[in-house]
Amino acid sequence: MDMNLLHDITFYVMYAAMAIAIFISIERGIYFAYVRRQARALTEVLGASVHSERDLPEGLTRRDSLPLNMVLPILAQKASHGSRKDLDDEIETQYLKTRAPLSRSLWIIETITTAAPLLGLLGTILGIIDTFKALASAGVSDPGQISGGIGTALFATGLGIAIALFCVVFHNFFQDSLERINDQLKILLIRAATGARVQGEVPHLVPTPLHSRTA
């Protein structure tokens, strides 16, 4: 078994994992920013007077977005004048549906965080084994060559730890962003249901002042 080849493969895997982590971090960062911007804009325009997609500004409905896809079923339920339970169930359903698209691919960053140090340690072990095999076959003729081989092997551990640190920072950042976005989307759903007329709800009547009725 060629330990040097396995050592190189370990490096290639770690570099690929680093590239994947960077790509996911950029993609999630852009997506989270877009969702928060759309949710903020929809929250500002939603209210008791909005009962369908036609009541929303065209600029907010022109492009598909997660907040818009959450709001439209709430508006449809609101316009149907169903029961309060049906409206609450629809709000809860739409809120639960946001978990999958928001947390998509974040498990990969978490996996890389755990696997990168282990891959680095594996690369170090393979590199040291390869160095000792070279010593056993050729003897100690050049101490600098030995230290260079061990230094290259230890570089794998350092690279694995660096990748893990990078992933930890962005994973924690995205987890914090998820909590903030979830709160924002919950407020959005409540705003979308504002002004709904549901079955069994008695309209609130403003009492007429006594002096007006006796005048």
**Residues ≥6 apart with Cβ < 8 Å to 193:** 74, 78, 87, 91
- How confident is the prediction for the chain on average, in pLDDT? 82
Determine the average pLDDT of the residues in 148-166.
85
Top-confidence residue, 70 or 203:
70
- Which pLDDT band holds residue 1 (cuts at 50, 70, 90)? low
> Looking at residue 197, what is its pLDDT?
62
Determine the average pLDDT of the residues in 116-141.
78
192 contacts 77 by C-beta, under 8 angstroms: no
Q: Tens digit of pLDDT for each residue in 173-186?
A: 999 999 999 999 99
d(CA 77, CA 60): 20
* Cα 75–chain centre separation: 26
178 contacts 102 by C-beta, under 8 angstroms: yes
Boundaries of every domain in the chain: 3-199
Q: Tens digit of pLDDT for each residue in 42-74?
A: 988 887 777 778 888 888 888 888 998 888 888
The closest of 97, 57, 58 to 74, measured between CA atoms, is: 97
